[in-house]
Chain A
Amino acid sequence: MAGILDRIFGRDRKSAHLAKERLKLVLVHDRTDISPGVMELMKDDLIAAISKHIDIDAGDVRIEMATEGHEQRLIADIALRPPRRR
């Protein structure tokens, strides 16, 4: 995430920073053996499953792998549709 923002805002264009951000992603996929394509499939399934119960904004769902040391986490960030006023 931070890497993407940095790139959009041109805050940090040093090549070492890019190397690190790229490595983060590569290592996550190497370690878990989950390709970016599988991530997309999981995202679609997740949207379908959660939509059955609550109203979410399917266009604003992100899932990503995060690394803490040797531990991998799957993080989902799902935007709900604004609730109707009662």
Chain B
Amino acid sequence: MTGKAITVTSGKGGVGKTTVTANLGAALANFGHKVVCIDADIGLRNLDVVLGLENRIVYDLVDIVEGRCRLRQAMIRDKRLPELFLIPAAQTRDKSAISPSDMVTLADDLRAEFDYILFDSPAGIERGFRNAVAPADMVLVVTNPEVSAVRDADRIIGLVEAEEKGPARLVINRIKPEMVRRGDMLGVDDILELLAVQLVGLVPDDENVLLSTNRGLPVVLDGKSKAGLAFRNIARRVMGEEVPFMHFDETGGFLNRITRLIRPGGN
């Protein structure tokens, strides 16, 4: 068995990397896979609280790398999802405590035991980003339907290719269908045309995400929420299934198609 390493990253901060990592991890585990989520955002630890495992941390990622504990000692098992594990980030250190090759070694040590090894990356294009993508077999870039987030996603997609980790796959998070319909939010078609990248997930803006984060229970475990369904779909696509994408922007998509008919040669 050789596990697949998947890194969740973005250019801009706050677009939903940690939320995507936690929910993708929980969904994959719920589908019966053995999953470890690793918080690579050193100094800004968050994956622990989103997963609701913050009270059980003893050791962290930097402790593993610096040899203060064994790998197994730093892994926290989720009691609700026994196939899900977390390796938390160090809170009082910075990105330079770890190198890209440390991350590669760590992933390789975990591949034998786990089906999926997920890395939650810090925002940005510096050391933390390079650490997080170094071990990746697949990179998910998260963005929001918003000018600066899309611009930064384009940068990151280019950097992922430059690190020979491409093609990156895109998650568009926090879509507000109503605004897209009014023509006041970039639609899925618009973003895909701009970024020319493969899509792996569309997640609506959903207040259940906040509610479940308050509780420390990933929203994907909430059977009814729209965001939960979106995350389960991402997990199935990662598992190799063909899952149709939800439609958020019927009208926008339709209008776009008409515009294309009117201006065939247009760019």
Contact = CB atoms under 8 A, between A and B. Distances in A.
A14 interface: yes
Interface in B180-198: 180, 182-187, 190, 194, 196
A31 B186 contact: no
B184 A23 contact: no
A31 B154 contact: yes
Interface in A26-74: 26-27, 30-31, 66-70
Interface in B7-29: none
A4 interface: no
A17 interface: yes
A30 B155 contact: yes
A16 B147 contact: no
Contact of B154 (A15, A27, A68): A27
A16 B154 contact: no
Interface string B137-165: 00000000011001100110010000000
Chain A contact residues (Cβ within 8 angstroms of B): what range?
A: 20 to 34
Contact of A68 (B179, B184, B267): B267
A20 B191 CA distance: 8
A30 B194 CA distance: 13
Nearest to B154: A27
A27 B184 contact: no
Given A24-B194, A66-B267, A16 B151 contact: no
A31 B184 contact: no
A22 interface: yes
Contact of B186 (A20, A26, A68): A20
B266 A16 contact: no
Contacts of A24: 194, 267
B177 interface: no
Nearest to B150: A23
A16 B194 contact: no
A23 B196 CA distance: 13
Q: Chain A at the B interface: mostly helix, strand, loop or mixed?
A: helix
A30 B155 CA distance: 8
A8 interface: no
Contacts of B267: 1-2, 24, 66-68
Contacts of B151: 23, 26-27, 30
Contacts of A2: 263, 266-267
B196 A16 contact: no
Contact of B194 (A15, A20, A66): A20
A24 to B, nearest CB: 7
B252 interface: yes
Among A14, A20, A30, find the residue whose CB has the most chain B CB atoms closer than 10 A.
A20
A17 B187 CA distance: 10
B183 A31 contact: no
B158 A16 contact: no
A1 B265 CA distance: 12
A23 B154 CA distance: 10
Contacts of A26: 147, 151
Interface of B: 146-147, 150-151, 154-155, 158, 179-180, 182-187, 190, 194, 196, 252, 263, 266-267
12 contacts: A2-B266, A14-B184, A19-B186, A20-B190, A24-B194, A24-B267, A26-B147, A26-B151, A27-B194, A30-B151, A30-B155, A31-B154
